């Protein structure tokens, strides 16, 4: 559950102004907007990386301010999939995905058997098992994008925020991503996910609620049609 009140979002000037908005848990939300409309800025705010200029946003039981002050707490509440991961030398895909468990590990960062089982299960669901031991630098952009999703899934947080998570994926993997996200939010009642996308048609086809961001305004369409979306853009 995300609650937004009188929030002003932006770096130096207010880019988005949201009077009031509630996003109930148990759903995934597609954030649609034109280039430069501030989608990434809004997402950066939601993950606590960018402070609000005014107003308040709460994620579950915590306000963004509380989460910003406490990195360890935030890591257990919000996971983030960046639009691009370029890979790291000598870091295998499985090791990369396993880093999602970091917030749940002890001081020495050792993975327990249960952590590894969890990681392997997620790799299997996303068809990444064959690539598990491959260097993340040698993967394709799409493979790395799926790996980033896997990393966020094993982080096991109530909120997942994704910045254009499908930009490098082929048609089949785009469907897989949305199906897996929908499956993921339904596994626990407190879960929700927000992702930015340009793929309006696929989101409509899957019946995903759409957040339209246009000219500083954010509008939630719970059961959108193409006309409604287009009218707002």
Distance separating alpha carbons of residues 84 and 62, to the nearest angstrom: 28
135 binds other proteins (CB under 8 A): yes
Interface with other proteins (CB under 8 A), residue total 33
Give the nearest distance from C-beta 202 to other proteins in angstroms: 27
Pick 27 or 92: Cβ nearer other proteins: 92
Site mask for other proteins (CB under 8 A), range 80-119, x = bound = x-x--x--xxxxx--xx--xx-xx-xxxxxx---------
Strand partners, 218: 213
159, containing H or E segment:
strand 159-162
Pick 157 or 192: Cβ nearer other proteins: 157
Pick 144 or 174: Cβ nearer other proteins: 144
Distance separating alpha carbons of residues 196 and 160, to the nearest angstrom: 12
User: Which stretches of the chain are DSSP H helices?
Assistant: 39-46, 64-69, 71-77, 93-98, 113-125, 141-155, 171-187, 200-205, 226-232
User: Segment 137-176, which members bind other proteins (CB under 8 A)?
Assistant: 155
Sequence-distant (6+) residues with CB within 8 A of 167 are 83, 145
Counting beta carbons within 10 angstroms of the beta carbon of residue 83, is it exposed (0 to 12), middle (13 to 18) or buried (19 or more)? middle
Site mask for other proteins (CB under 8 A), range 37-76, x = bound = ----------x-x---------------------xxxxxx
Binding positions for other proteins, rule: CB under 8 A:
47, 49, 71-76, 78-80, 82, 85, 88-92, 95-96, 99-100, 102-103, 105-110, 133, 135, 155
């Amino acid at each position: 559950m995300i609650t937004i009140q009188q929030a002003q979002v932006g770096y130096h000037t207010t880019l988005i102004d949201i009077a009031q908005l509630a996003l109930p848990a148990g759903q995934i939300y597609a954030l649609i907007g034109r280039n430069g409309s501030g989608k990434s800025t809004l997402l950066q705010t939601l993950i606590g990386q960018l402070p609000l200029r005014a107003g308040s946003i709460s994620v579950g039981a915590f306000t963004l301010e509380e989460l910003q002050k406490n990195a360890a707490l935030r890591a257990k509440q919000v996971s983030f999939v960046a639009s691009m991961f370029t890979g790291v030398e000598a870091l295998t895909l499985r090791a990369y995905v396993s880093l999602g468990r970091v917030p749940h590990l002890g001081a020495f960062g050792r993975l327990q058997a249960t952590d590894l089982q969890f990681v392997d299960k997620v790799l299997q669901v996303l068809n990444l098992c064959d690539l598990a031991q491959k260097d993340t630098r040698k993967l394709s952009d799409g493979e790395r994008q799926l790996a980033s999703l896997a990393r966020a899934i094993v982080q096991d947080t109530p909120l997942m925020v994704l910045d254009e998570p499908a930009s490098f994926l082929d048609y089949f993997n785009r469907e897989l991503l949305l199906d897996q996200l929908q499956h993921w939010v339904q596994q626990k009642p407190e879960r929700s996910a927000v992702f930015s996308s340009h793929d309006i048609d696929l989101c409509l086809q899957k019946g995903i609620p759409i957040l339209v961001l246009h000219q500083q305004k954010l509008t939630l369409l719970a059961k959108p049609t193409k006309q409604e979306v287009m009218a707002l853009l």
